Amino acid sequence: MPRNKTSLRVIPLGGLGEIGKNMMVLECGDDIVVIDAGLMFPDEDMLGVDLVIPNIAYLREHKAKIRGIVITHGHEDHIGALPYLLRDLPFPVYGTRLTMGLISVKLKEHKLLSQAKLHTIQAGQEFRLGQMRITPYAVNHSIPDAVGLIIRTPIGTVVHTGDFKIDHTPVDGKPFDLHTLARAGAEGVLLLLSDSTSAEVSGYTPSEMTVVETLDRIIREAPGRVIVASFASLIARIQIVLNAAARHGRRVVVVGRSMEDNVRMALDMGYLHDPSNVLMKHSEMRETPPEKTVVMTTGSQGEPTSALVRMAKGDQRLVRIVPGDTVIVSSNPIPGNEVVVGRTIDSLFKLGARVHYSRIEQVHVRGHASQEELKLIMQLTKPRFFVPVHGDYRHLVIHGQLAESLGIPRDRIFVRTDGDILELTADSGKVVGKVEADNVYVDGLRIGDIDSPVLRDREHLANDGIVVTILTLDRNTGRVLGRPDIITRGFMEEEASEELLEQSRKVILHSLDHGLGRPAEPGYIHGRVKESLAEFFYQKTKRRPMILPVAVEI
């Protein structure tokens, strides 16, 4: 890939198909700025995988050029890969105050805090990384202190929206900084990178304030205890609950480690306010009557070990659901979580709770901009080139169509996939190549040792289990000595399989009839056993267990 020294390169990385969601690389001359370093939770076909992180081969290769990593906000899909990245590449990290607080907690857990170079930035205040001058600007999102970035490079200005919505009546009173964005637009924007998550949704995303009324009514009318489940980092929602509790003479207890940590930090840093002192400790729950109690908790996505899911299963230590309880599931299921969230709600209903959830009531609003907001950003910035980011491919396409409908010519809209290198000059843009961008899996402590063959084996095992056959062979004659042993796991119920396994012993012996009279060749024996057993099992059961022949020669 020959490269133009007076050009700007833009490379999206990571995000499991959500392009540039976890990481975006901007390269200008000898300077690279990395935006975000997040992780994704695995798709259901990534069996046993805990996390998916961006492939940083390109960063490793060009580490001398990297000036820093700028984080737009403190969600996992934007900060979660930092521990894995900084371990190898200890570059300085830039982020706003709350974002830095969240990053610090994470790095501390991974014992990386002491050596990390952390720089707190502030919305509206420019800082410089190499030849790039960066102005963060305030956006609204489902976590406080989120910013977009205006990045002035020698080639032109790049606007990166981060994750955003435009909320004119935000709960924390801090509106989207339209002015700074408008000024950048007036000066001229070369490239807009804009959040496509909700590009399918027409109209405007409602303000967080619209949830206030619903939560207030439910808490006011609830006959007993109220349990509100939401995201641990959705501080605005927690503020709404604190306010409603204060209005209706209730106290609030926070249950769930991640939310407890976040509440403590948000109070300390001034992002959450408890003027009426409604927050209480776990130990105060006992003496507070149910009709005076609100439990604020995690688990609104049906996460298996979360507090709400434990409550639904009846094994949460502090809160046991009883008839008369009111539960508010204050979120929308993220795609892929619909079934587990549904099951959790079902279980809560079965325990006698009244459950309020987003399918039936306005107990949640989205955190991402809808079509009218996306158009507004395009109008304000008037970019020469447009790259939709953060979204599945279909969201990018639709976001691209929106841009076209606003008059951006189709050949200046780049709907890309991860790893694509987009090279821009002041008046031209093209994709000039691709960097390594395949998913990197984290399973347990180890990174990158799970590949497709391992996942294929896991799927095979998951579908039909495994049959291990143990043969003892005479080293000289290849004759099978004694009776083959057969062990199965995940194949079928033990009792049901007895007769089948007895028959399969005969199949093994029969398949090796021709092997007698000459030394055992392990490859031959494995092949014969595998083939004949696979056929036998498929014919009898239409299943294809993994077959693992073990031959011991003596």
| 454 touches a copy of itself by CB under 8 A | yes
**The binder of a copy of itself chosen from 497, 505, 509, 530 (CB under 8 A):** 497
Specify whether the CB–CB gap between 54 and 81 falls below 8 A. yes
Pick from 160, 159, 170: which is nearest to 211 by CA? 170
Which is the catalytic residue, given 73, 368, 390, 399? 368
Nearer Cβ to a copy of itself (186/431): 431
Instruction: Give me the 34-73 binding string for a copy of itself, x by CB under 8 A, dash otherwise.
Output: ---------xx--xx-------------------------
Separation between Cα atoms, residue 191 and residue 423, nearest integer Å: 11
Residue with tokens 């619903």: 214
Residue 365 falls in which region: left (phi positive, over 0), alpha (psi -120 to 50) or beta: beta
Mark the segment that binds a copy of itself (CB under 8 A) among 31-39, 59-67, 259-267, 452-460: 452-460
Nearer Cβ to a copy of itself (91/537): 537
Nearer Cβ to a copy of itself (43/109): 43
Separation between Cα atoms, residue 346 and residue 355, nearest integer Å: 9
Residue 371 falls in which region: left (phi positive, over 0), alpha (psi -120 to 50) or beta: alpha
CA distances from 412 to 113, 248, 263 (A): 42, 54, 44
| 516 touches a copy of itself by CB under 8 A | no
Pick from 207, 290, 279: which is nearest to 245 by CA? 279
| 472 touches a copy of itself by CB under 8 A | yes
| 523 touches a copy of itself by CB under 8 A | no
Asked about 368 being catalytic, the answer comes back as: yes
| 343 touches a copy of itself by CB under 8 A | yes
Instruction: Give me the 259-298 binding string for a copy of itself, x by CB under 8 A, dash otherwise.
Output: ----------------------------------------
DSSP 411: G
| 490 touches a copy of itself by CB under 8 A | yes
Mark the segment that binds a copy of itself (CB under 8 A) among 74-82, 230-238, 258-266, 482-490: 482-490
Which is the catalytic residue, given 77, 163, 177, 195? 195
**The binder of a copy of itself chosen from 11, 69, 355, 402 (CB under 8 A):** 355
Separation between Cα atoms, residue 11 and residue 417, nearest integer Å: 9
| 345 touches a copy of itself by CB under 8 A | yes
| 393 touches a copy of itself by CB under 8 A | yes
SS3 of residue 349 by DSSP? helix
Nearer Cβ to a copy of itself (106/248): 106
**The binder of a copy of itself chosen from 275, 493, 513, 517 (CB under 8 A):** 493
Specify whether the CB–CB gap between 190 and 337 falls below 8 A. no
Rg (CA), the chain: 29
Mark the segment that binds a copy of itself (CB under 8 A) among 99-107, 318-326, 378-386, 388-396: 388-396
**The binder of a copy of itself chosen from 112, 118, 397, 509 (CB under 8 A):** 397
- Applying the rule CB under 8 A, the residues between 182 and 201 that interact with a copy of itself are 200
| 360 touches a copy of itself by CB under 8 A | yes
**The binder of a copy of itself chosen from 485, 521, 531, 535 (CB under 8 A):** 485
| 453 touches a copy of itself by CB under 8 A | yes
Alpha-carbon dihedral 104, 105, 106, 109, rounded to 10 degrees: 120
For residue 246, what are the contacts with CB-CB under 8 A and spacing of at least 6? 275, 276, 278
**Three-state SS string across 61-80, please?**
HCHHHEEEEECCCCCHHHHC
Separation between Cα atoms, residue 491 and residue 279, nearest integer Å: 52
| 512 touches a copy of itself by CB under 8 A | no
Nearer Cβ to a copy of itself (318/340): 340
Specify whether the CB–CB gap between 544 and 464 falls below 8 A. yes
Mark the segment that binds a copy of itself (CB under 8 A) among 131-139, 141-149, 251-259, 459-467: 459-467
| 550 touches a copy of itself by CB under 8 A | yes
Nearer Cβ to a copy of itself (44/287): 44
SS3 of residue 327 by DSSP? strand
| 502 touches a copy of itself by CB under 8 A | no
Nearer Cβ to a copy of itself (125/452): 452
DSSP 292: G
**DSSP sequence for 485-524:** EEEEESSS-HHHHHHHHHHHHHHHHHHTGGGTTS---HHH
Shortest separation between residue 42's beta carbon and a copy of itself, angstroms: 11
**DSSP sequence for 190-249:** EEEEEE-TTTTS-S-PPPTHHHHHHHHHHHHH-SS-EEEE--TT-HHHHHHHHHHHHHTT
Count the Cβ atoms, other than its own, within 10 Å of residue 186: 11
**The binder of a copy of itself chosen from 17, 188, 249, 314 (CB under 8 A):** 17
**The binder of a copy of itself chosen from 339, 406, 431, 516 (CB under 8 A):** 339
Residue with tokens 């009546």: 169
Query: Tokens representing 83?
Result: 């521990």
- In the complex, the residues that contact a copy of itself under the rule CB under 8 A are 17, 43-44, 47-48, 200, 335-336, 338-339, 342-343, 345-347, 349-350, 355, 357, 359-360, 392-394, 397-398, 417, 443-446, 448-451, 453-455, 457-466, 468, 470, 472, 485, 487, 489-493, 496-497, 540-543, 546, 548, 550, 552, 554
**What is the set of active-site residues?**
195, 368
